[in-house]
Structure 1
């Protein structure tokens, strides 16, 4: 007996299988789809995400380091600015004009006096004319005959004096020769420059009181002093002023020696006072206290 076709409208088993293999567009394929998912897609996404996370972390670290650097740089700039400001304030306080202290005024005087032998011309150290007291204390003027070249201290004085000057650091010796107003006497004045006033005081304490030794005379040919030498010296003396020892010696313009003069005439009433007065005047010029400015930068504080 033949099988009967069902009338319910439902597909048979074979038809179900055929329908299950139909193309989604409606046509039958006859077999299953061959398209499969790409096996490496998830791995790439994970690698890309990891790379992005690493880059983000690196960027965050860079931002952190930059903030630290900027902060440190700001601190350094601020500290430097404070140091510069404090230094500027200190410099302004130090250099601004202010009244001189007593110690600074005294130092100014000492320095000014100590450099005069170099700062002044030789005609400033040894003026053309020097006042002195003559007979009856009459004021007279000694005229300068000539100025000798600067020389070593030991070469401008007698040996006993040279030893003292050398041991106390004598710098140099300046000498000039004068004649009195009557041209009867000649005098040589020698300025020994010591390194400072303390050295001058120490040297003065060791100098001999022998009036036969001291500065060596300087004679100038063709003048009234041409016969004035060591043997013609009648007396010598010295006086201290600042860092200077000022020596003076005098004799007769006619060339008489000390040995030719009777002892009672050596203390001539006019010769020796004139010689000492000339030496003292030059010492006074050198050590005359200068005018001290009231402020560090002049007269305005």
Structure 2
């Protein structure tokens, strides 16, 4: 009988046994080729979209980086322009002077505020020197002046009171100078407008035991006054070293002609030292612009 899959009586020419699957792969159908082409087109389109998105991403990142670089550059230029040395404007020069004067009472040593010797004009316009006897501890403004003056200083923001006592060249007169520190020059001007010209009140004297000033107290004050300078009110008062009180001097007796001019001269010179305009540097970073 003939075998299945072969010619009757003859073997399979490929040597395969009848009834087994052929080892030769069949050609793909037309539908399979169309699917592969579609997938290839989809892959190419996806690749094109990816390339396009990547280009937009690169452009976006580049734009952000460029903007950041511009911002940094502008900031650097602005910082350099702001910090570079340049000439001071008139307003800056004025502010520099005000700030320098206003900090002197703290920046200077006490001996800088109250020099050891202060010049004044004596009789016949002879130049004399008042000698500093001592410097009192810094105190609150209300504790260094009479009550009527203290109320005005407190109302205008007085910060502190500095006091020192001097004697004239002959040790005949005693002078106490008080520096009231106000917040600023405007406060000082406002306070000065309310101060009276009563020469019986002002700074409280400071006496130093064991010196010629030890008998100088409130009752020994013969006259008192003040002068304004910058943010400071500089008070001065004078009396006799022998301890005579104001009440002990008869109204018809004229005070020594040198007493009050010397006191006023000493107070004015200390005010001048404190408010003397400083030398202003021409540039924001010193003398080189």
TM-score, normalized by length of structure 1? 0.84
The residue that corresponds to 2:189 in the other structure is 201
Per the TM alignment, residue 87 of structure 1 is displaced from its structure 2 partner at its CA by: 1.6
Q: How does 1:70-219 map to 2 (within 5 A)?
A: 70-219=58-207
Deviation at 1:270, TM superposition (A): 0.7
Structure 1, unpaired ranges of 5+: 1-17
Q: Helix, strand or coil for the counterpart of 1:70?
A: helix
In the alignment, the residues of structure 1 paired with residue 283 and residue 82 of structure 2 have an alpha-carbon distance, to the nearest angstrom, of 13
- 1:24/1:132 CA distance change after superposition, 3 Å: same
Counterpart Cα distance in 2 of 1:158 and 1:26: 137
* Maintained 8 Å contact 1:177/1:218: yes
Give the aligned partner of residue 271 of structure 1.
259
Which secondary structure state, in structure 1, belongs to the residue aligned with residue 281 of structure 2?
coil
- SS, match of residue 290 in structure 1: coil
Partner of 1:72, secondary structure, is helix
Could you tell me how far apart the structure 1 residues matched to 2:108 and 2:163 are? 15
Retained in 2: the 8 A contact 1:21–1:32? no
Provide TM-score, normalisation by structure 2: 0.87
> In 1, distance between residues paired with 2:14 and 2:90?
122
Deviation per CA, 1:222-274: give whole Å up to 9, x if none. 11111111111000000000000000001011111100012243543111000
8 Å contact kept, 1:153–1:162 = yes
- For residues 45 and 115 of structure 1, the distance between their equivalents in structure 2, rounded to whole angstroms, comes to 94
Counterpart secondary structure, 2:130: strand
Structure 2: where are the runs of 5+ without partners? 1-5
RMSD, aligned CA:
3.0
Change (3 A) 1:32 1:283: closer
Q: Distance in 1 between matches of 2:254 and 2:38?
A: 120
Closer, same or farther: CA 52–21 of 1 in aligned 2, 3 Å: farther
Alignment CA distance shift 1:40-1:225 (3 Å): farther
Structure whose CA Rg is larger: 1
Q: What is the CA–CA distance in structure 2 between the aligned matches of 1:60 and 1:295, rounded to whole Å? A: 62
